[in-house]
Structure formats: structure tokens, C-alpha cells
């Protein structure tokens, strides 16, 4: 445990989905703007070991850290807000905790003791929290507890953070509770009872919130008497109750918390002098408000009914839009329903077309059609991971004339597998076979990719299939240039069509390195290209 590290714990009440991750990220932003070093962690109460094999429809996207951790999507928010590369230690689940404890028991670590939730599970949780400060030597560690207070699954995590408070000096821990402030349209009244019950539940676990964020999903202003009522009934001062109203953008939330002087409350309670400087966030907010360009991006995927499956992609588009004075409208296109007969109706209004990553054959042919539509109609195209493989399949079929061209993931009988399994991988094994984490791409001189990146790109990967190198010369001769490679294993990382306003596709996931302060070069170039030809 870092000697001076302070811990801020974020919990939620009443219902899930209130924005605990955004609240924690915003607090992290304020701390960083005050010159403090920050690390963040997400604790999830589900029993899956990690999100890697979880259905995106259930859980949203799988976010990948630089060191190859497959994590919850909230880590994407954390990194985009605090501009810090997190690690595998930033995400763990109840499943991972129980797995480690049971393995320790099988190895005899507990020497025949009766293994119980307390102390063994809770001590393992505490160990994981302390590892953040041990490994990173930071001023603050912000820990978000998934789910809501009262969930049976989250009880060991709540007990663990209660114990941490009892072990550390008082000024080294702080509890922020995010709870729903309901509004009844019928009577035109705010109701605080759900918040009261949520805080009561926290108290029953031995935790008094230090700050309460009253999340309110209505445009009506919260009157001061409601704030006073919450403070009186929840053992808080009025300034310790922060109103979490809807904002025009999630990137306005740090500014909203700062306006309510949350930094002053943290300063007093944690005995630290905070003088935030949020000028970059103010500039971004002003740019967004004054955006003049309107850009419509058709995002073609199979999980578009749950847009969280592509959260980092959509946020990367929005961030690039902010810095290019563009209002981004995403047209969500279900690739399963995209056909040759309806494609013009679906995509004709697109300023740009983006095909994101994914796994499995479902919806693939719709994505191939989208890539072809972008190529033939000179519409800017950005392909990500599977979106790069799709672009290559479409090009091989319709430019090179290999009508059966495909990926070995989708058609083992194809005589032209332009995409094939990474050498040494077992096609029957889902877990542990992905190329994960950060790798360096060497950029080819004289390409569009070089104009965007310079000589190299360091980006994150999550895939198990690669471009088949035996087709490289044929592709390049026909106008699809290999513009980025991973030199060590001679793997194709970026392809681009030379005779096109912007047709670039990458095997990696550029969305994972977008930051509010620094849009990813591929997304930035994509939006710039669209604006330049509108």
C-alpha cells in the first residue's frame, strides 16, 4: 500500500445505470487537474471471471487495457477522462476473487482453515484494492463498486471497503454514494425517500456516505429545500449533497461537479489542498456548443440494439467531433438486416461509414455490403478489427475477382481465405487465444496512415484472425495498400485504398486510446476527411 495513497469509494443506490462510473471519472478528472496522480479500479459482483466471453448484449463492450486485460466498459470512461493507462489490476469480478480463493485453498495456502466469506474473500478484495497503490504509487485510488447497495452479490465488497476505512487514518478514505432522486410528473414533486432508504442500507453495512450525488433524470431544477431535506435525513451537510442533473454531454459532468464545489468537500474531508484547473474541459465544452458542421456516420454492426456494445467507438467519434467543430449523428445500422435491395435506402445519407469489431458469422454479409458501398461510392470508410477484415474480404471478392473470398472464421471451405487464424491458435478454444493488448505498428512511408500517425502507432488489439500474407502483392497491385505492419511477426495492421478520399481499416482497436484531450489519429482523420469533402 502506497504510504500516502488516499482511497475514494463510489457506490450506487436505488437502481443501476445511474452513472457511478462517470461520477468517479469526473472526480478523477478534477483531482488530476489539481496536479494529483490518480488510478481507478472497477469491482464487479458478477461471477464471470472476466467480461472476455460475455455477450455484448448483456454487458456492453469488452474494454482492453494496454497490458491485455479484458475489462468492463467503465474502464473506457476512466481512461478517456483521467488520461491514464490503466492495467489488469483495474478490473476484477467476484468470479475472479472466488476463483483465486478456491485455488489458494486447493493449494493448501490456508492450512486447513475453514474458508469463509469473512475473512478470506474480503481479505482478497482488500489485497486487490491495495495492489493499485502498491503498483502505481499514486495520490488517489478511486474504486467503483458495481451494482447497487443491498444486492446480495456486492455484500463482500461493501464489507471489504468498510474494513479499509477502519484500518486507515480517517482522512485517507472517502465514500461517495450515487442514488436516484425521483421526480413524479403527476404531482410535480421530487421524492427523496428512495435516497433515504439507500443511505439507510449503507448505514446498516457500517458506512456513512461522505458525499451524496443525487442523480436526477429531469430537466426541472432541484430546489434548495430538497437538498436541505436530503442532507438532514442522510447525516450530511448541504454542501455534501451534489445534484447530478442531466448534462448536454458526459464531458460536462466534471464541470458540473466543480461548479458545486465537490473539490472543496474532498479537500476538507481528506486533508488535501485541491485547486483544479479545468481549462481543457471548458474549451471542449465551448467547442461542442459552438459546433457548426453536421456529420452523419453510419455505424454498421450486429449489436446496434444495445449501443453500449460499441461505446468506445461512439465516444471516440464524439470526441473527434468536438475538436473538429462537428456535431456527430450516429446512424445505427443492423448488419443482419442490411441487404443488396435496401442498402441504398439505409446508407445513402451517410457522410461516413464505420464497421466496428466483432466475432461470429452473424451479420457479416451485411458488413461486406457496407464496405463495398463505401468503396464504390467514395464515402469515407473506417474499419476496425473485423471491419478491416471485412474490407479485405469485399475487396478480394469484387476487385480481385475471388468470389468465394472469406475468413476461415466464417468459411473453412473457401479456396481464398484472405483472413485466417493466427498461427498456433486453437480454433476450438475461445478463452486465452486472442492477441490482446498493446503492440507497435510500423507505418509505411508515403501513406495516409503516415500522415495521421507519423512513423509508428502503438495501439491495442483483441482478435484471433489475421490478414493472409500470401495475398499481399495481389492486393497492393490492385490498389489496396498495406500501410502498417507489426514487424516482429510480419502481420498486416493497416490497409488503405489509395484512390479514395478516406478508406482506412486497422486490425487493432483505435477507440481504446481516444482521450478527450487527444482524439485518436484514425478517428480524427476520418472526421477531418468527411468535413473536407462535404
| Bridge partners, residue 63, by sequence | 71
In eight-state DSSP terms, residue 206 is T
Q: Tell me the sheet residues that pair with 38.
A: 140
For residues 66 and 512, what is the distance between their CA atoms, to the nearest angstrom? 9
Distance CA 427, CA 390 (A): 19
- Whether cis (ω within 30° of 0) applies to the bond prior to 119 is yes
Q: Which of 159, 201, 315, 511 is catalytic?
A: 511
User: Measured between alpha carbons, how far is 178 from 247 in angstroms, rounded to an integer?
Assistant: 16
The burial class, CB within 10 Å (0-12 / 13-18 / 19+), for 401 is exposed
Query: Across the strands, what pairs with 369?
Result: none
Tell me the HSE value of 154 on the side-chain side, using a 13 A CA sphere: 22
Q: How distant, in Å, are the alpha carbons of 87, 97, 104, 273, 365 from that of 50? A: 14, 11, 19, 37, 30
User: Cα-flanking dihedrals φ and ψ of residue 478, to 5°?
Assistant: -95, 0
Cα 379 from Cα 344, distance rounded (Å): 13
DSSP label at residue 105: H
Is 385 noted as a catalytic residue in this protein?
Answer: yes
Are 207 and 178 in contact by the 8 Å Cβ rule? The answer is no
- Find, among 198, 196, 209, the residue nearest to 161 by Cα: 209
Q: Catalytic: 509? A: yes
Give the count of beta carbons closer than 10 Å to the beta carbon of residue 429.
9
Q: Going edge to edge, which strands form the sheet with 140-145?
A: 91-93, 38-44, 140-145, 6-13, 173-180, 211-216, 241-245
DSSP-derived secondary structure for 137-173: --SEEEEEEPS-TT-GGGHHHHHHHHHHHHHS-GGGE
CA distance linking residue 436 with residue 70, whole number of Å: 8
> For residue 43, what are the contacts with CB-CB under 8 A and spacing of at least 6?
92, 93, 125, 128, 143, 144, 145, 146, 157
Q: Residue 183 forms beta bridges with which residues?
A: 190
Catalytic residue among 132, 216, 234, 385: 385
- 128 vs 39: CA distance, rounded Å: 13
- Give me the phi and psi of 485, to 5 degrees please: -135, 150
Catalytic machinery residues? 385, 509, 511
Amino acid at each position: 500500500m502506497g504510504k500516502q495513497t488516499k482511497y475514494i469509494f463510489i457506490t450506487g443506490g436505488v437502481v443501476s445505470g445511474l452513472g457511478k462510473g462517470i461520477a468517479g471519472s469526473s472526480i478523477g478528472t478534477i483531482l488530476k487537474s489539481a496536479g494529483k496522480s490518480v488510478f481507478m479500479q472497477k469491482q464487479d459482483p458478477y461471477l464471470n471471471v472476466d467480461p472476455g466471453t460475455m455477450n455484448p448484449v448483456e454487458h456492453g463492450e469488452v474494454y482492453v487495457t494496454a497490458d491485455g486485460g479484458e475489462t468492463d466498459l467503465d474502464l473506457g470512461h476512466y481512461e478517456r477522462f483521467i488520461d491514464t493507462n490503466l492495467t489488469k489490476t483495474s478490473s476484477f469480478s467476484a468470479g475472479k476473487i472466488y476463483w483465486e480463493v478456491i485455488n489458494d485453498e486447493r493449494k493448501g495456502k490456508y492450512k486447513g482453515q475453514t474458508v469463509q466469506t469473512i475473512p478470506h474473500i474480503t481479505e482478497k478484495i482488500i489485497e486487490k484494492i491495495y495492489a493499485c497503490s502498491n503498483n502505481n504509487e499514486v495520490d488517489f485510488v478511486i474504486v467503483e463498486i458495481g451494482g447497487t447497495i443491498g444486492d446480495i452479490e456486492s455484500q463482500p465488497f461493501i464489507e471489504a471497503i468498510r474494513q479499509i476505512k477502519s484500518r486507515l487514518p480517517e482522512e485517507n478514505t472517502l465514500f461517495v454514494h450515487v442514488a436516484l432522486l425521483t421526480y413524479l410528473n403527476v404531482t410535480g414533486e421530487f421524492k427523496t425517500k428512495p435516497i433515504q432508504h439507500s443511505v439507510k442500507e449503507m448505514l446498516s453495512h457500517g458506512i456513512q456516505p461522505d458525499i451524496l450525488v443525487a442523480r436526477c433524470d429531469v430537466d426541472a431544477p432541484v430546489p434548495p429545500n430538497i437538498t436541505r431535506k436530503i442532507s438532514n435525513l442522510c447525516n450530511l451537510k448541504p454542501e455534501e449533497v451534489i445534484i447530478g442533473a442531466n448534462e448536454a454531454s458526459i464531458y460536462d459532468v466534471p464541470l458540473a461537479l466543480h461548479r458545486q464545489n465537490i473539490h472543496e468537500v474532498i479537500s476538507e474531508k481528506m486533508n488535501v489542498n485541491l485547486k483544479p484547473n479545468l481549462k481543457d474541459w471548458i474549451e471542449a465544452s465551448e467547442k461542442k456548443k459552438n459546433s457548426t458542421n453536421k456529420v452523419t456516420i453510419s455505424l454498421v454492426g450486429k449489436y446496434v440494439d444495445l449501443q453500449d456494445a460499441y461505446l468506445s467507438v461512439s465516444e471516440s467519434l464524439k470526441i473527434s467531433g468536438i475538436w473538429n467543430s462537428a456535431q456527430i449523428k450516429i446512424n445505427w445500422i443492423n448488419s443482419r438486416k442490411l441487404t443488396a435491395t435496401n442498402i441504398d435506402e439505409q446508407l445513402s445519407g451517410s457522410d461516413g461509414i464505420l464497421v466496428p469489431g466483432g466475432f461470429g458469422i452473424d451479420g457479416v454479409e451485411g458488413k461486406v455490403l457496407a464496405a463495398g458501398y463505401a468503396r464504390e461510392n467514395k464515402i469515407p470508410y473506417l474499419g476496425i478489427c473485423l471491419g478491416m477484415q471485412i474490407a479485405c474480404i469485399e475487396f478480394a471478392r469484387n476487385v480481385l475477382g475471388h468470389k468465394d473470398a472469406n475468413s476461415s472464421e466464417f468459411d473453412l471451405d473457401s479456396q481464398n481465405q484472405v483472413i485466417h487464424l493466427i498461427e498456433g491458435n486453437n480454433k476450438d478454444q475461445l478463452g486465452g487465444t486472442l492477441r490482446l493488448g498493446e503492440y507497435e505498428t510500423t507505418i509505411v512511408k508515403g501513406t495516409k496512415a503516415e500522415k495521421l500517425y507519423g512513423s509508428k502507432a502503438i495501439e491495442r488489439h483483441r482478435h484471433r484472425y489475421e490478414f493472409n500474407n500470401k495475398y499481399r502483392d495481389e492486393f497492393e497491385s490492385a490498389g489496396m495498400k498495406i500501410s502498417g505492419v507489426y514487424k516482429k511477426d510480419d502481420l498486416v495492421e493497416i490497409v488503405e485504398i489509395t484512390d479514395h478520399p478516406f478508406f482506412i481499416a486497422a486490425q487493432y482497436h483505435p477507440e481504446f486510446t481516444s482521450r478527450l484531450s487527444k482524439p485518436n489519429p484514425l478517428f480524427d482523420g476520418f472526421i477531418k476527411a468527411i468535413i473536407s469533402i462535404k
